[in-house]
């Protein structure tokens, strides 16, 4: 287990490859790649981040991951790989979130992208992402680093 502080100084506990905290997590986050580029979205309030959101009633976490990627980027998930799960007792209460990696083949243009402004493609995630106000708080803690390290080893 890796334990660290998030952007808001809340303690995050991350466990790789295992649904350690809950087998019915309520949140998902998906690190996505499209043709060699990172595929992100621009949340209207939080800024640039990988797609994700809440698991809806009657939906599995995996289904939510595929749906959120499509809603927020237009990306059609070809393959979804589970990376790990984390727990944070954060602002707004305690949450458990599944983190995935998804390879996207096809990017469909959509009339709207829910609470986001749609897809953002990047060759690289900037090194100074923590200090860059254009990026969401979700991009500013160790979850991203752990996930990217795991993805490179897949
Ligand atoms: N690292 C961290 N994450 C947090 C904290 N509090 C908190 O709600 N989160 C996560 C859970 C959610 O993914 C996100 C809050 O977003 P939200 O409630 O607006 O929901 P969302 O946009 O992700 O979901 P959706 O409406 O697209 O379904 O941030 C916290 O204190 N630290």
Say what the ipTM of the complex is: 0.89
pTM: predicted TM-score of the whole model, two decimal places: 0.95
Helix H or strand E segment including 150 = helix 142-152
Residue 27: the pLDDT is 98
CB 14 within 8 A of CB 95: no
Mutation probe of ligand 1 site: the residue of 53, 55, 72 with most atoms within 8 A of C-beta:
53
> Is any ligand 1 atom within 6 A of the Cβ of residue 72?
no
Q: For the chain, list residues with pLDDT below 50.
A: none
Nearest to 143 by CA among 88, 63, 93, 72: 88
How far does residue 34's CA lie from ligand 1's centre (Å)? 24
Residue 62: the pLDDT is 98
Helix H or strand E segment including 11 = strand 11-16
> Is any ligand 1 atom within 6 A of the Cβ of residue 13?
no
Ligand 1 atom 22, closest CA = 53
Residue 91: the pLDDT is 86
DSSP 20-49: -S-SS-SEEEEEEEETTEEEEEEETTTEEE
CB 118 within 8 A of CB 74: yes
> Is any ligand 1 atom within 6 A of the Cβ of residue 90?
yes
Residue 63: the pLDDT is 98
Could you tell me which residues come within 8 angstroms of residue 71 by beta carbon, excluding any fewer than 6 positions away? 51, 53, 113, 114
Residue 145: the pLDDT is 96
Residue 153: the pLDDT is 87
Calpha distance 132→141 (Å, rounded): 13
Report the atom number in ligand 1 closest to the C-alpha of 45: 19
């Amino acid at each position: 287990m890796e334990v660290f502080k998030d952007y808001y100084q809340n303690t995050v506990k991350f466990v790789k490859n295992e649904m350690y905290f809950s087998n019915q997590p309520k949140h998902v986050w998906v690190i996505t790649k499209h043709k060699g580029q990172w595929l992100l979205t621009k949340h209207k309030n939080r800024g640039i981040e990988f797609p994700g959101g809440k698991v809806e009633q009657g939906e599995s976490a995996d289904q939510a991951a595929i749906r959120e990627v499509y809603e927020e980027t237009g990306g059609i998930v070809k393959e979804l790989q589970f990376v790990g799960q984390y727990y944070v007792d954060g602002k707004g209460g305690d949450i458990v979130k599944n983190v995935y990696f998804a390879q996207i083949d096809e990017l469909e243009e959509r009339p709207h992208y829910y609470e986001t402004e749609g897809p953002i493609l990047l060759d690289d995630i900037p090194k100074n992402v923590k200090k860059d106000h254009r990026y969401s708080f979700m991009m500013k803690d160790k979850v991203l680093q752990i996930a990217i390290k795991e993805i490179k080893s897949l």
